[in-house]
Chains A and B, each alone.
Chain A
Amino acid sequence: MIDFTLTENDEARLAHLYAQGEYIRQFVRDADENEAELPPEVLPGAEDFLKTLERPPAPGPEDTQGPAMMTLSAIAQYWGDYSLRLHREGGGGLGNAALSAAGTDEQKAKWGGLLLSMAITEPGCGSDPSRVETTAVLDEDTDEWVINGEKIFVTTGIRAEGVVLWATIDKSAGRAGIKSFLVEKGTPGFEVPGKEKKLGIRCDDTAAYVFRDCRIPRENLLGLDESIPKQSSGGFRGVMKTFNMTRPMTAAMGLGPAKAALDFTREQLEEAGVDLAYGGGTAQQSAAAQAFMRLEAIYEASELATLRATWLAGTGQPNNMESSVCKAHAGSAVRAITQGCVDILGPMGISREHLLEKWMRDCRITDIYEGTGEIQRLIMARGLLDYTRQDLK
């Protein structure tokens, strides 16, 4: 049954996350300004602080669960900060999602416990991964793949213990020649030159990777399928499947700072005596109130589109279109919201004394990674028009 109410327990579980976010905020500015260092795995005082919070009860059958709750939780977590956590939990990197989607049972058992990054983008290719130039050449004598190439923008690339990377085993085969390989950190020929310097999400360890004659065992090919399909590549699709939960989660992550920006701006407006009179017509509202409510509406639309995409996933329904809908929507929304809040607050919005300018910088990534807004529009348009990749580029 269609319902949008949160149970008391839902609220309590989210409040627990928002409280952590409030605590984290004191460390945010320093971490952002000292981007060269990785933030600590456990923030100072985290243990003692957590003891002061009441632990919410486990969810019951009436409570919101699964992917829809993951969405709301991600918004709450990223509301505190995009990158900092009280405790950085091991958990899954993007590479782990790829491993579970495309790996054999044996491969999953062997590497599932490692934090795995995912390396697709290269200096010369981003949105069109079929142009991957990193090569994997089989050395039949030693039963090893020899990897050569360069990868950039690798999320959690510094902390990761291994990487799932895309490399081509036959450039002439185009996308069909692209395979996923697992390379553990410490493998000779696998270098990590350092952390990328970025506009936002500076505490996130985005890395560049270099592979120079890096040799890995033949069985490090995910799925172990060395054949090159004639037509469109099944292997490629296998990798693309991993995007179905990650697109909505990326949307949710961006909505966190957008919500933070709205909350901060609302506080400032209320303090300044601006009346947010919901229910009336727009003609009698102040310009600031009107602008603010418009941003709130955009936020609502985006959050609901994201909940819808994850609710579908949670109820076992296909959500390819909907994932792109929410990712594209949130990508535009968080730009409009955070930049709009800066406009409303004026000079206060750009001051590094406050966090608003940082939220604006942090969530700018939302419309770029996990498929740019343009790629999401391509996916939606193909869906609407019943077109293949070849039909609409």
Chain B
Amino acid sequence: MISFGLTEEQELIRDTLKEFASEAMRPIARDCDENGEIPQDFLDTIWELGLTSTQIPSEYGGGGEERSTVTNAIVLEELGYGDVALALAATAPNAFVNAILDHGTEDQKKALLPLFTTDEFHTASLAVLEHGPLADPAQPSTKAEPKGDDFVLSGRKSWVVLGDRASHFLVVARNNGGIDAFIVPADADGLTVGEPEKNVGLRGLTTVTLDLERVEVGPEARLGGSDGCDVRAILDNARGANSAILVGACRGILEFCVPYTKERIAFDEPISKKQSIAFRMAEMHMETEAMRWMTWKTASHAGQGHPQTTRQAHLTKQYVAEKSVWIADNGIQIFGGHGFIREYPVEMWFRNVRTLSVLEAMAGL
């Protein structure tokens, strides 16, 4: 049955996180961007909120709360509203944990999930993206060659979120014509974790390149065991999560524009009274709304294992990427010169949205 109704619990979570975004994220976002790092304090605070551990079943030491992909989309929107880089850092562990929860064998769950239920921030990362002009997350060039029961991984992965502090990586690789994901410990022989990458946006968020030079892993490293897993589903889920963060960012941009345009006077009246500005903001609102409903539908489908999930996630990713960049770009235009200087957050938001909109597999629902 078609419904857009939030449960009371979802409303409460949304309101709580909106407050958190305003109080704990917005004030530090600029410093993180300028300094190129996210303070440990922040990660500790977010860890205490239990975004990761509460959704891990109690038999693995977690809070055992039911995981709802839709609720998580609502959470991610609020975090994205706070700051995109911080949102990605805060939920980086979830992307990994969700993949294990959804596709891992019992042994994999037992081995890995308890790592995320302790008092200290712990993370592991998806390693999906690769450098190159025709990068396609569904067609990696990183390969896994069988060697007896083992696998030998070779290739290079980029934009691995918080790769500098991850205990494990989930490396997506070609395997005998198909695609699989392999759990690789950070200290595996042949694995080199590179220096932090330099990107136009999300500068506070550390991403790294991984070099895999004949990294040997056992059969137990293959996610899902001997059957492998549907890597497509991990990517779909991540597309929903990325989109949710972008929706929040765009909402924040418009919210920042509205009061400014009412105060900024040009030709004897506030610029908000000019249709060229007012209509543009109307469209920014319209697109943010549309993006949100697409994201919710993707999250809902992903949670239900709906057969249309991949298509839905694809269309959502495509739409949200295009419109979010348009919104962020117009945020700058509305602020004019003030949109260009770093005293205002608008240029940072543009860089962040511009960056996330081309990336994949950065977060999870």
B2 and A307 contacting across the interface, CB-CB below 8 Å: yes
A279 and B138 contacting across the interface, CB-CB below 8 Å: yes
Are B293 and A5 in contact (CB-based, < 8 A)? Answer: no
Chain A residues near B5 (CB-CB < 8 A): 1-2, 311, 315
B285 proximity list for chain A (CB < 8 A):
325, 380, 384
Q: Is the CB of B2 within 8 A of A381?
A: no
Give the chain A neighbours of B360 by CB distance below 8 A: 281
B7 touches A68 (CB 8 A): no
List A contacts of B195 (CB < 8 A): none
- Which A residues touch B278, using CB under 8 A? 377-378, 381, 385, 392
Which of A49-57, A149-157, A289-297 participates in binding chain B? A289-297
Additional A-B contacts beyond A297-B319, A322-B289 (12; CB < 8 A)? A1-B3, A4-B301, A280-B136, A307-B2, A311-B2, A311-B4, A329-B286, A377-B275, A381-B281, A385-B258, A385-B281, A387-B272
Assess A311 versus B3: contact at CB under 8 Å? Given A325-B285, A385-B272.
Answer: yes
Question: Which A residues are within 8 Å of any B CB, using their own CB?
Answer: 1-7, 10, 62-65, 68-69, 72, 278-284, 293-294, 296-298, 300-302, 304-305, 307-308, 311-312, 315, 322, 325, 328-329, 374, 376-378, 380-381, 384-385, 387, 391-392
Decide: A325 and B289 in contact? CB cutoff 8 A: yes
Contact A381 B279 (CB under 8 A): yes
Question: Does B135 lie within 8 Å of A281, measured CB to CB?
Answer: yes
Nearest residue, chain A, Cβ from B73: A2
The contact sample of 23 A-B pairs, CB cut-off 8 A, is A4-B301, A5-B301, A5-B306, A64-B1, A278-B311, A279-B138, A281-B135, A281-B137, A283-B136, A284-B136, A297-B318, A300-B316, A307-B2, A311-B2, A311-B3, A322-B289, A325-B289, A328-B283, A328-B286, A329-B290, A377-B278, A381-B278, A384-B258
Nearest CB in chain B to that of A281: its residue? B136
From residue A58, how far is it (CB to closest CB) to chain B in Å?
Answer: 15
Considering the complex, give the chain A residue whose CB is closest to the CB of B284: A384
In the complex, A63 Cα to B1 Cα: how many Å? Answer: 5
**Interfacial chain A residues near B6, Cβ < 8 Å:** 2
Top 9 A-B residue pairs of the complex, sorted by shortest distance between their CB atoms? A281-B136, A304-B293, A380-B282, A381-B278, A301-B290, A297-B319, A297-B315, A278-B314, A283-B134
**Distance in Å from the Cβ of A344 to the closest Cβ of chain B?**
16
Interface of B is mostly: helix
Count of chain B residues with Cβ under 8 Å from any Cβ of A?
A: 56
Within 8 A of A (CB), among B287-334: 287, 289-291, 293-294, 296-297, 300-301, 304, 306, 310-316, 318-319, 322
Centre residue among A297, A377, A378 by max chain B CB count within 10 A: A297
In angstroms, Cα B262 to Cα A391, docked, is 11
- A3 and B282 form a contact (CB under 8 A): no
Tell which of B235, B254, B261, B315 has the most Cβ of chain A within 10 Å.
Answer: B315
- Knowing A297-B316, A301-B290, the reply to whether A284 touches B134 (Cβ < 8 A) is yes
CB distance from A170 to the nearest CB of B (A): 29
> How distant is A367 from chain B, measured CB to nearest CB, in Å?
13
For residues 122 through 177 of chain B, which have their beta carbon under 8 Å from a beta carbon of chain A? Answer: 133-139
Q: Report the separation of the CA atoms of residues A176 and B289 in the bound assembly, to the nearest whole angstrom.
A: 34
Known: A4-B2, A279-B232, A380-B285. A304 touches B297 (CB 8 A): yes
CA distance A65 to B2 in the complex (A): 9
B74 CB, min distance to chain A CBs, angstroms:
9
Contacts of B310 in A (CB 8 A): 278-279
Asked if residues B319 and A298 are in contact (CB atoms below 8 Å), the reply is: yes
Residue of B nearest to A72 (CB): B2
Given contacts A302-B290, A325-B289, contact A283 B133 (CB under 8 A): yes
The answer to whether A4 and B300 touch across the interface, beta carbons within 8 angstroms, is: yes
B264 at the A interface (CB under 8 A)? no
Question: Which partner residue on chain A sits nearest B298 by CB separation?
Answer: A4
**Which A residues touch B135, using CB under 8 A?**
281, 283
Residue contact B301 to A1, C-beta cutoff 8 Å: no
- Contact partner of B138 among A2, A281, A301, A328, CB < 8 A? A281
Q: Which of A297, A301, A381 contacts B282 (CB 8 A)?
A: A381
List B residues 181-195 near A (Cβ within 8 Å). Answer: none
Q: For the complex, give the distance between the alpha carbons of A305 and B59 in Å.
A: 41
* Alpha-carbon distance A298/B286, docked complex (angstroms): 12
* C-alpha gap A279/B310 in the complex (Å): 6
Known contacts A279-B310, A377-B283: A1-B7 contact under CB 8 Å: yes
Interface pair B290/A328, CB less than 8 Å apart: no
Say yes or no for B236: interface residue by CB 8 A criterion: yes
User: Given that A279-B235, A293-B314 are contacting pairs, would A300 and B4 also be in contact in the complex, using a CB cutoff of 8 Å?
Assistant: no
Q: Across the interface, do B1 and A385 meet the contact criterion of CB distance under 8 Å?
A: no
Query: Which residues does chain B contribute within 8 Å of A312, judged by CB atoms?
Result: 4
B14 to chain A, nearest CB (A): 12
* Bound CA span A180–B118, Å: 69
Indicate whether B70 reaches chain A with its CB closer than 8 angstroms: yes
**In the assembly, what is the distance between CA of A283 and CA of B301, in Å?**
25
Chain B residue nearest to A311 (CB atoms) is B4
Closest to A321 in B: B285
Give Cα distance in the complex from A308 to B254, angstroms. Answer: 20
